[in-house]
Amino acid sequence: MISDTTKARFAREVAKYPADQAQSAVMACLSIVQQEQGYVSADSEKVIADYLGMAPMAVHEVTTFYNMYNQKPVGKYKLNVCTNLPCQLRDGQKALHHLEHKLGIHMGETTADGLFTLQQSECLGACADSPVMLVNDRKMCSFMSNDKLDQFVDGIRAAEGKA
Amino acid sequence: MSAHNVIDQFVSKGIETCFHGRHINPQIYAGLDGSNWRLKDYEARGGYQALRKVLGKDGSAPNPETGLAGMSQDQVITTVKESALRGRGGAGFPTGLKWSFMPRKFPGQKYLVCNSDEGEPGTCKDRDILQFNPHIVIEGMIIAAYAMGVSVGYNYIHGEIFAAYERFEEALEEARAAGYLGDKILGSEFSFQLHAAHGFGAYICGEETALLESLEGKKGQPRFKPPFPASFGLYGKPTTINNTETFAAVPWIIRNGSQAYLECGKPNNGGTKIYSVSGDVEMPGNYEVPMGTPFAKLLELAGGVRKGRKLKAVIPGGSSSPVLPASIIMECTMDYDSISKAGSMLGSGAVIVMDDSRCMVKALQRLSYFYAHESCGQCTPCREGTGWLSKVVDRIEGGQGRPSDMDLLDNVAENIMGRTICALGDAAAMPVRAMIKHFRHEFVHHVEHKTCMVAADVSKV
């Protein structure tokens, strides 16, 4: 099932493409579902496939090809820290390790309270801002020194009543 | 404080990377402050005047000989050709020449695509253009569409810079409302629809044919060329693809003329170029300077090598370009020809600076991991070869290297190059070969002593 609001967002994306090319909107539809539900389930893929007139497998191929689609549920805040070379030279790796320590998890894992998922990522395209951390696919946090990372985690925990 | 506000306080404002006032004769970043990205601000900076000039809507008198106002399609393409604007995405292909490949008399639908899938490690210039001056890209695309007779365009934006995608969508709405986009632009006979699309985490989609596949709603696996996009592009129709910065250069060229643009740079390398300087410098950021600016000057603008250390090596054009030792890069000027003569590539203009405390084996280890991770898996030499490269560099870094490993790396790299559908294979192989060529002694030290040579050296400094 998809809500009318979601359908309206899908329709806006489909309208960008020629009438017989609705499939072009699959990337956007998947990211909309992920924003609303936290991840892309097999059911969501089926709904999108029906909406766009694609085979469910063709949608699944897209979900699994692109790094940012979550194929299973993640924490409420998904944190992606870039460790590619330009970031490695400016403490990207250190930022990732600091978060592992602060959150008590390894990269790729989710905290027990379900609040944070931590992932290493490839180039986020913000190399001069390193260390950089992408939050929930859409917000790029820049110059994330250990102090700022602490402020970030503590701030989110407080806002979520889990301080 | 709400969670939303907690996150927002860490979002970059562009002050360090774009509004630092250390550009030289900027054309694209000129006059930006982060708050003036809207249409009315862009118009106040002379924005959309180039489009008016092209469409004959700038109030100037019609050409007395032809009786026509504005510029013809040929005039626009000739102007861009004469400016010596070269593609800013990495290949440096002459833009005007690319535009002339489009079959203008083709009766069916044609497409214009902007490649904003900025994922080449080290590169972050297009993000600042899209966020802080989005209309300059829109205007450049409209002019390009006019010159090639295209009625529909897409800007495909790197999924990781989602804020730039959202900003660009807002700018599109403004341009539509003002009559710069849509049917019969500014009352002329020319119509152009432009939309934004986004990626979602795949380096390979920066390759133009992979990008087209992605725009068609598929996994981003590159297509075999030929046919080139100019004959078989998006949905199988003639398509021209240019980088964000390339389109952003166009309005200035139309307003000021090809000669002025050419003179701003150096022969065969017109205009300004935005360099993303990252790594071991005091002030990493984007620097827009004329083509042909000495590397030493660029380094100085970025505050010099961090903590006063010695420069060791520079990757001059994004992670795929061959590394150059300090002695070579310090003699180079920053333009396509000079960097190419020195044995590397200007690429996307992403300058990754490394000081004398850096281990080249470790640097290569991270890059090789990246290419293995991002290979799309379509071609065997790349899919298997990038994995081999990564594993062999891993074992050298981990003290398990064998004396024959350097030759093995060179051999694997050689067997990838030129044997794949797209350039990702070459992009993975080139850094390996250059690292071994210029810094072989560091790899040998790792194999022989099972430790890093640099740590020992640096402790003496």
Residue A65 near chain B (CB below 8 Å): yes
**Residues A18 and A56 grouped into a single domain:** yes
Task: Give, in degrees to the nearest 5, the angle at Cα B180 between B174 and B184.
Answer: 135
Domain final residue pick, A13, A37, A65? A65
Other beta carbons within 10 Å of B184: 10
Q: Give pLDDT tens digits for B390-430.
A: 999 999 999 999 999 999 999 999 999 999 999 999 999 99
Other beta carbons within 10 Å of B148: 25
Residue B85's closest CA among B279, B256, B236, B273? B273
Q: For chain B, what percent of residues have pLDDT higher than 70?
A: 99
Q: Give pLDDT tens digits for B93-140.
A: 999 999 999 998 888 999 999 999 999 999 999 999 999 999 999 999
Residue range of the domain that includes A10? 4-65
**Residues A81 and A110 grouped into a single domain:** yes
Residue B286 near chain A (CB below 8 Å): yes
Residue B282 near chain A (CB below 8 Å): no
Distance from CA of A118 to the nearest CA of B (A): 16
Taking every pair of Cα atoms in chain A, the longest distance, rounded to a whole number of angstroms, is: 51
For residue A148, what are its two tokens? 């700022």
Gap between the Cα atoms of B417 and B428, Å rounded: 9
Note whether residue A43 is domain-resident.
Answer: yes
For residue B77, what are its two tokens? 């393409």
**Residues A84 and A131 grouped into a single domain:** yes
**Residues A154 and A81 grouped into a single domain:** yes
Question: What is the interface pTM, i.e. ipTM, of the complex?
Answer: 0.97
- Whether the CB-CB separation of B128 and B29 falls below 8 Å is answered with yes
Name the DSSP letter for residue B60: P
For residue A140, what are its two tokens? 């790029």
Residue B127 near chain A (CB below 8 Å): yes
Gap between the Cα atoms of B231 and B236, Å rounded: 8
**B374 → closest Cβ in A62, A122, A133:** A122
Whole-angstrom CA distances from B327 to B35, B292, B313, B432, B438 are: 41, 18, 8, 19, 11
Beta strands A139-141 and B111-116 are unpaired
In degrees rounded to 5, what are phi and psi of residue A48? -65, -40
* C-beta pairs of A4-9 under 8 Å, 24+ apart in sequence: A6/A32, A6/A33, A6/A36, A7/A51
DSSP 3-state of B82: helix
Taking each helix axis from N to C terminus, what angle separates A26-37 and A56-65, rounded to the nearest 10 degrees? Answer: 70
**Residues A82 and A149 grouped into a single domain:** yes
Note whether residue A70 is domain-resident.
Answer: no
Note whether residue A153 is domain-resident.
Answer: yes
Model confidence band, residue B67 (pLDDT cutoffs 50, 70, 90)? confident
- Closest Cα in chain A to B284: A128
Q: Give pLDDT tens digits for A88-127.
A: 999 999 999 999 999 999 999 999 999 999 999 999 999 9
Residue A130's closest CA among A100, A90, A80, A84? A90
Residue B456: its pLDDT value, please?
Answer: 59
For residue B41, what are its two tokens? 């601000």
Domain final residue pick, A34, A65, A96? A65
For residue B173, what are its two tokens? 């709405």
Note whether residue A93 is domain-resident.
Answer: yes
**Residues A26 and A61 grouped into a single domain:** yes
3-state helix, strand, coil in chain B (%, to 5): 45, 15, 40
For residue B61, what are its two tokens? 């008198």
CB contacts, 8 Å: A18 with chain B:
109, 235
Residue B119 near chain A (CB below 8 Å): yes
Which residues fall within 8 angstroms of residue A143, CB to CB, at 6 or more apart? A129, A130, A131, A132, B10, B12, B16
**Residues A127 and A82 grouped into a single domain:** yes
Chain A interface, best mutation among B115, B176, B218, by max A CB count within 10 A = B218
**Residues A53 and A86 grouped into a single domain:** no
Q: How many folded domains does chain A comprise?
A: 2
Residue B405 near chain A (CB below 8 Å): no
Gap between the Cα atoms of A77 and B380, Å rounded: 37
Q: Give pLDDT tens digits for B254-275.
A: 999 999 999 998 888 889 999 9
Q: Give pLDDT tens digits for B210-248.
A: 999 999 999 999 999 999 999 999 999 999 999 999 999
- Whether the CB-CB separation of B204 and B222 falls below 8 Å is answered with yes
Task: Give, in degrees to the nearest 5, the angle at Cα B176 between B127 and B54.
Answer: 85
User: Which A residues 92-111 touch B at CB under 8 Å?
Assistant: none
**Residues A146 and A86 grouped into a single domain:** yes
Other beta carbons within 10 Å of B373: 15
**Residues A110 and A40 grouped into a single domain:** no
- Whether the CB-CB separation of B267 and B126 falls below 8 Å is answered with no
Mean pLDDT for the stretch of residues B445-455: 89
- DSSP structure string for B17-46: TTSSS--SS-SSSTT--SS--SHHHHHHTT
Gap between the Cα atoms of B271 and B461, Å rounded: 41
**Residues A101 and A28 grouped into a single domain:** no
Gap between the Cα atoms of B274 and A121, Å rounded: 25
pLDDT above 60 for B458: no
Gap between the Cα atoms of B431 and B269, Å rounded: 25
Q: What is the mean pLDDT of chain B?
A: 95
User: CATH number, domain at A142?
Assistant: 3.40.30.10
Domain final residue pick, A18, A43, A65? A65
Residue B286's closest CA among B272, B274, B304, B298? B274
Note whether residue A26 is domain-resident.
Answer: yes
User: CATH number, domain at A42?
Assistant: 1.10.10
Strand positions, DSSP E, chain A: 77-82, 116-121, 133-135, 139-141
- Whether the CB-CB separation of B28 and B294 falls below 8 Å is answered with no
Distance from CA of A70 to the nearest CA of B (A): 11
Residue B199 near chain A (CB below 8 Å): yes
pLDDT above 50 for A38: yes
Put residue B418 in one of left, alpha, beta given phi > 0 → left and psi -120 to 50 → alpha: left
In degrees rounded to 5, what are phi and psi of residue A67? -60, -30
Beta-bridge partners for B241: B113
Beta-bridge partners for B165: none
Note whether residue A71 is domain-resident.
Answer: no
Note whether residue A33 is domain-resident.
Answer: yes
pLDDT above 50 for A47: yes
Sign of torsion, CA B248 B254 B255 B259? positive
CB contacts, 8 Å: A115 with chain B:
none
Other beta carbons within 10 Å of B314: 27
**Residues A52 and A89 grouped into a single domain:** no
Model confidence band, residue B457 (pLDDT cutoffs 50, 70, 90)? low
Note whether residue A92 is domain-resident.
Answer: yes
Q: Give pLDDT tens digits for A51-70.
A: 999 999 999 999 999 999 99
